[in-house]
Amino acid sequence: MAKNEEAMDKIVSLCKRRGFVFPGSEIYGGIGGIYDLGPLGVELAGNIKKAWWKKIVYGRDDVVGLDSAILMNKDVWHASGHVESFADPLVECKNCHSRFREDILPKSKNCPNCGKNDWTPPRMFNLMFETHIGPVEDDASTTFLRPETAQGIFVNFGNIVDTMRVKLPFGIAQIGKGFRNEITTGNFLFRVREFEMMELEYFTYPKKAEADFEYWKKERMDWFLDLGIKKENLRFREHADTERAHYAVKSVDIEYNWPFASTAGKPGWLELEGIANRTDYDLKQHAKESGKDRSYFDEETKEKIVPYVIEPSLGIGRAMLAFLIDAYHEEKAPTARPHSAEASRGKKEEEETRVVLKLDPRLAPIKVAILPLVKDEKLIKIAKDIHKDLKKEWNALYDEVATVGRRYRRQDEIGTPFVITVDFDTLKDDSVTIRDRDSMKQNRIEIVRLKEKINGLF
């Protein structure tokens, strides 16, 4: 097995074993390209969303939030061009009848399923899931599950302008589910059929669009770097004219160096986030098709403008996968087992491999774990009291099962940044140890100072 594939397998297995991600409908054999988030996954995804919202909405004066419905009038999807153009080229293997996205076939063009090279001509396959509103299934009741959240923003543009006293340039941010009936799914959370997205539509003066595009490129790259993704694993790539979505004049991807290659055999650099200049395309289309003016009246110039839109768009599952891959470390550490006789006689300390997720504390699913050193009633009581108190502010976990070394490893593996241990000295000095996940260093601290200390660590 290639080293990279092995790395990916380890992440997938850790995600299942430790309750981050489960295959969708698993007991019925699963369902292609659909995953469920387990208790730790929902925390990690939630923390990613919080970090995004904090930066994009709370951290600025020019962006407001929105939560529009998943189901929209089907006319939205005709106006936006998605019914016509949101499609990928599909080919079918004449030998085994497997279907693939033509543009991501391997270089050899051999069928990834049976190895033959005998394909039907490509036909465009629309990626939107169709559904029906109400009890009658006819053309009039047909609509689609949204493939992007952006259209909910465009159709609410007038409502936001009318109610929020926003001034150009301003943005509308939204987090919500998107659905794409991808022809070929794969690489775990990388390409799935149901996923959450974080999208910002930043409305600006047409003249300022290029500068704002560059501004958002940098903002978005800095966000990943600030949350700990290694610089060498990120880069920009501009789309060629043939690749761009139907609504964009310019698109740049922030690519991540994934431990897998695309089916086309390209090295691991693939899209993490897309940043597009959508121009005034969407607002103009909706104005035309709905008959409702979508322009903005500029008080300063006394002119009506249809703003341009810069859109950074990121899938939460894809982001989660990048954060997990980047944080995953295996390193040598003193053994978690009680030391052997040789070790205690002063021979070289025993070592083992520890798995540690070096997630930024802001993203870590559990912020702090509290352990009694051993199962002693007095220590348990103090540890449980501390847990109860800290739980009011952070997602804290109490664990008394197995040796303390094993319990440290369990927390390392899920990325818990701090572990507090109550030991027999606690009974004398009302202090505990606080262990740092990455350095494994332990410091003693008074129980009354714990909250202040943890607060300062985020």
Q: Please report, as ranges, the residues that interact with ligand ATP according to CB under 6 A.
A: 180, 182, 191-192, 195, 197, 271, 273-274, 313-315, 317-318
**E strand spans, 67-207:** 87-92, 99-101, 123-126, 130-132, 142-144, 170-179, 194-204
Q: Is 101 helix (H, G, I), strand (E, B) or coil?
A: strand
Cβ 84 to ligand ATP shortest distance, Å: 16
Q: Which CB, 212 or 273, lies closer to ligand ATP?
A: 273
CA 258, 270, 330: angle at the middle one, nearest 5?
10
Q: Which is nearer to ligand ATP, 18 or 191 (CB)?
A: 191
Phi, psi of 38 (to 5 degrees): -85, -175
Nearer CB in complex with ligand ATP: 177/406: 177
Work out the end-to-end distance of the chain between its first and last CA atoms, rounded to an integer number of angstroms.
39
Least Å distance, CB 369 to ligand ATP, is: 31
Shortest gap between Cβ of 72 and ligand ATP (angstroms)? 17
How far is residue 406's CA from residue 392's CA, in Å, rounded to a whole number? 26
Residues 6+ apart with CB under 8 A from 60: 171
Is the CB of 212 or the CB of 271 nearer to ligand ATP? Answer: 271
Instruction: Compute the least distance from the CB of residue 196 to ligand ATP, in Å.
Output: 9
Least Å from the CB of residue 109 to ligand ATP? 20
Comparison of 161 and 309: residue with beta carbon closer to ligand ATP: 309
CB of 112 to ligand ATP, least distance (A): 17
In the bound state with ligand ATP, the residue whose beta carbon lies nearer, of 79 and 450, is 79
A 10 A CB-CB count for 374 gives 13
Cα 101 to Cα 145, 182, 184, 260: the distances in Å are 21, 9, 6, 18
Is 304 exposed, middle or buried, given 0-12, 13-18 or 19+ CB atoms closer than 10 A? exposed
Number of H helices, E strands in the chain: 14, 23
Would you say 359 and 327 are in contact if contact means Cβ atoms under 8 Å apart? Answer: yes
Q: CB-wise, 197 or 419, nearer to ligand ATP?
A: 197
Q: Partners of 269 in the beta sheet?
A: 257
Strand bridging mode 418-422 / 431-436: antiparallel
Q: Residue 420 in contact with residue 434, Cβ under 8 Å?
A: yes
| Residue 168 vs 200, nearer CB to ligand ATP | 200
Return all residues near 418 (Cβ < 8 A) that are at least 6 apart. 361, 367, 368, 369, 434, 435, 436, 437, 454, 457
CB atoms inside a 10 Å sphere around CB 367: 22
Shortest CB 271 distance to ligand ATP, Å: 4
Name which of 75 and 182 has its Cβ closer to ligand ATP: 182
Find the shortest distance in angstroms from Cβ 274 to ligand ATP: 3
Name the residue with tokens 């409702």: 292
At its nearest, how many Å lie between ligand ATP and the CB of residue 257?
15
CA pair distance 282, 12, nearest whole angstrom: 38
